Amino acid sequence: MAPVLEFAILGLLQEAPMHGYELRKELTAKLGAIRAAISYGSLYPTLRRLQAAGWITEAAETPATAEEVPALTSRRGRVVYTITAEGKERFAQLIAQAGPETYDDTGFGVHFAFFARTDQATRLRILEGRRRKIEERREGLRDVLGRAAERLDAYTLELQRHGLDACEREVRWLEELIANERSGRAPTAPDSRTVGGRGDNDSPPTPGTSRTERP
């Protein structure tokens, strides 16, 4: 229902207009933890789809003052994408409705990456939905490791064990984040630095720093 790329592009273009290549770089930097690298084979079709829906507009890059180097080398046209008012509305709507697909690995990851543009109540709802989902996966793995252990070989069991470990770790991570949200603090900030970002939007104020255990 809410493809990952659509959400991410609408979120990124609210920072600044960009052309495809730049968009891919920013996307890769922002989602590097959950996605290897966004393919052009999905980026460009998505951009066309967004433009058809009216969420973004595309415009060929114009020379700065329209009199500078008019036909020297005739720059290869870079297409710059800009988000529209309807696009911003669409993004807000996608944030508001948190369906089951919001809690799978990539869905949660991309939503989390734009938590700075998400209100606290929704943040909390998503974190708890994700925790529930991971807890279910954890129980499934425990079942397999308990009941069906003798049917599986040592390597498969080791894989389940590693997966179970990752689940338990993520649950703990989520608990920490949830506790932080409840107390109205921002996530663990290793050094004191108030997030700059000239607020062009209704993004939350991202309150002061805090500290968990790991420095």
Stretch 177-206 residues interacting with a second copy (CB under 8 A): 177, 186-189, 193, 195-197, 206
Q: N- to C-terminal Cα distance for the chain? A: 39
Stretch 132-151 residues interacting with a second copy (CB under 8 A): 137, 140-141, 144, 148, 150
Q: Can residue 38 be called a binding residue for a second copy (CB under 8 A)?
A: no
Q: Which does 206 bind (CB under 5 to 8 A by kind): a second copy, DNA, none?
A: a second copy
Task: Name which of 76 and 193 has its Cβ closer to a second copy.
Answer: 193
Supply the minimum distance, in Å, between the C-beta of residue 91 and DNA: 15
Pick from 124, 118, 112: nearest CA to 91: 118
**Of residues 7, 55, 81, 112, which one binds a second copy by CB under 8 A?**
112
Supply the minimum distance, in Å, between the C-beta of residue 193 and DNA: 26
Stretch that binds DNA, among 4-12, 152-160, 168-176, 203-211 (CB under 7 A): 4-12
Q: Can residue 100 be called a binding residue for DNA (CB under 7 A)?
A: yes
Pick from 167, 173, 169, 161: nearest CA to 138: 167
**Of residues 14, 15, 17, 49, which one binds DNA by CB under 7 A?**
49
Pick from 6, 13, 18, 12: nearest CA to 84: 13
Query: 200-211 burial, b if ≥16 CB within 10 A, otherwise e?
Result: eeebeebeeeee
Q: Can residue 40 be called a binding residue for DNA (CB under 7 A)?
A: yes
Q: Which stretches of the chain bind a second copy, using CB under 8 A?
A: 29-30, 32-34, 36, 104, 109, 112-116, 137, 140-141, 144, 148, 150, 152-164, 166, 169-170, 173, 177, 186-189, 193, 195-197, 206
